[in-house]
Structure 1
Amino acid sequence: MTEQTTPSAPPKMAARHVNVFYGDKQAIRDVSIEIDNDHVIAFIGPSGCGKSTFLRTLNRMNDTVAGARVEGDITLDGENIYDPSMDVVQLRARVGMVFQKPNPFPKSIYDNIAYGPRIHGLANSKADLDVIVESALRRAGLWDEVKDRLKDSGTALSGGQQQRLCIGRAIAVEPEVILMDEPCSALDPIATAKIEELIHELRGRYAIAIVTHNMQQAARVSQRTAFFHLGTLVEYGVTSEIFTNPREDRTKDYITGRYG
């Protein structure tokens, strides 16, 4: 794997020699990478290359898959997230996930946002909860569109609004890392542009990693890009350099459309 640069700040998350298996099949091979607060990192590569599988290791979503096994070290602020003492519920509050298909709860807009803070005891009163809900919806760029209909069902929103609601739901529990698995693939260009703008606004407040099949999107939203192929991390570096001057032939072939 070619690495063009390493972020200078201590990483928020670090993966070292990570391997992922589904039963006897190895899906990820010896991946090492760092994620920090200052840069959005995009994971790109052909379908089935392991980018989403790797993303899911970062908050132990693969724990829910029968036969899945993760080897190597993944740390959050230097703490091994696969240590038996790690509280997985708490981990997933600290490392939030936004999925490819918007998945609001069949609850009101308000209750979608309030759900996590209630579970984690982040609000002592209804007034506290109101503040958290408004703040999360503002940060998700949704407040002005829904402030007069917070009692309406979250599932009644448009697809783009639902995805921003899901981002707001992740934000509401004050995560440190936000993982996004192709968050715009089901959205139209206008909704996609709003999500991309939101990612720009959230950068620096959270460490953000995004899986995308859209290379133009990776170029627009990220400062670091990791190219995966056949379960390996082929190349990782500054996004502009990856796209204009890749060091690996496989990266160049993918970016120029020779395969994918």
Structure 2
Amino acid sequence: MMTDMSMSDIAAHQRADHSHDGDPRIRAENVSVFYGNKKAIDDVSIDIDQDNVTAFIGPSGCGKSTFLRTLNRMNDTIASARVEGRITLDGEDIYSSGMDVVQLRARVGMVFQKPNPFPKSIFDNVAYGPRIHGLATSKSELEGIVERSLKRAGLWDEVKDRLADSGTALSGGQQQRLCIARAIAVDPEVILMDEPCSALDPIATAKIEELIHELRGRYAIVIVTHNMQQAARVSQRTAFFHLGHLVEYGDTSAIFTNPTETRTKDYITGRYG
């Protein structure tokens, strides 16, 4: 029934419908990234769709996080960074002069390696984005968004009686799920995760991985990970980066069991990296 859906829900449904018509959610074409004169990413082209979790793997310093950051223009914050090539979100060039970067980062949310909740209450952490983007017209609507986001992030039952407590008082794993709740509160289309479990213990890591499974299909998800077992567990598509190049991209099972490139095979079997 229409009455149960907010405007943001309707918009999200329309976007979701669009994403299943065979077009990728994000398309990168011939993307190179420079820091000053140093080329960190060299001519990378990749399609990212909504139905699969995509993992970026590769040794440290291979460019996977740098490339991830091009997908919501986080590299804009680095003065020496320059991006060449074309990246589109739903067919729209995200580096065009008309692109509102604040709006873009709501549509393409980011979860960082180290949980970074705001020094505010749990409630205000999640309510922050919907407030600044005007997604709620009343207090009760805002409360509904916060509750729904915390439920989707698998955190509601643990925090529902302490929403006024500081987000920074939670455990590391809870903080990371709070950051995921904060990202999904603005109805994003894409969630980028930059090694979201590297600072977490195995139990918290398992919860985040479970959460990624649950969110799959609702959002296009890209995860950078050093942990190949994790990539194998959570993703359906895997991209292997090496020295700024995208060496191989395909179904996760094929990449891990039958890679076509020697460099991929050497990395997967532990010969380097």
Pair in the same fold by TM > 0.5? yes
Root mean square deviation, CA, Å: 0.9
Distance 1:80 1:37 in 2: 18
Q: Note if 1:175 corresponds to 2:202.
A: no
Deviation at 1:66, TM superposition (A): 1.2
Corresponding residue of 2:124: 111
Q: Which residue, out of 48, 68, 71, partners 2:81?
A: 68
Structure with bigger helix share is 2
Q: Note if 1:164 corresponds to 2:177.
A: yes
Corresponding residue of 1:194: 207
Q: Which residue, out of 77, 80, 92, partners 2:90?
A: 77
Distance 1:179 1:57 in 2: 11
Alignment: residue pair count: 254
- Using the size of structure 1 for normalisation, the TM-score is 0.97
Aligned ranges for residues 1-260 of structure 1 at < 5 Å?
A: 9-260=22-273
* Superposed CA offset, 1:92-138 (max 9, x none): 00000000000000000000000000000001111010000000000
- Aligned partner letter, 1:101: K
* Superposed CA offset, 1:54-109 (max 9, x none): 00000000000011000000000000000000000000000000000000000000
Distance 1:12 1:188 in 2: 32
SS in 2 for 1:73: strand
Deviation at 1:9, TM superposition (A): 2.2
Q: Report which structure shows greater RCO (CA 8 Å, sep ≥6).
A: 1
- Aligned partner letter, 1:207: A
Deviation at 1:8, TM superposition (A): 8.8
**Consecutive aligned runs of 4 or more in structure 1 exceeding 4 Å deviation:** none
Distance 1:186 1:67 in 2: 28
Gaps of 5+ in 2: 1-19
Deviation at 1:10, TM superposition (A): 1.0
Deviation at 1:253, TM superposition (A): 0.4
SS in 1 for 2:40: strand
- Aligned partner letter, 2:245: T
SS in 1 for 2:163: coil
Corresponding residue of 2:7: none
Gaps of 5+ in 1: 1-6
Distance 2:35 2:202 in 1: 35
- Using the size of structure 2 for normalisation, the TM-score is 0.92
- Aligned partner letter, 1:174: D
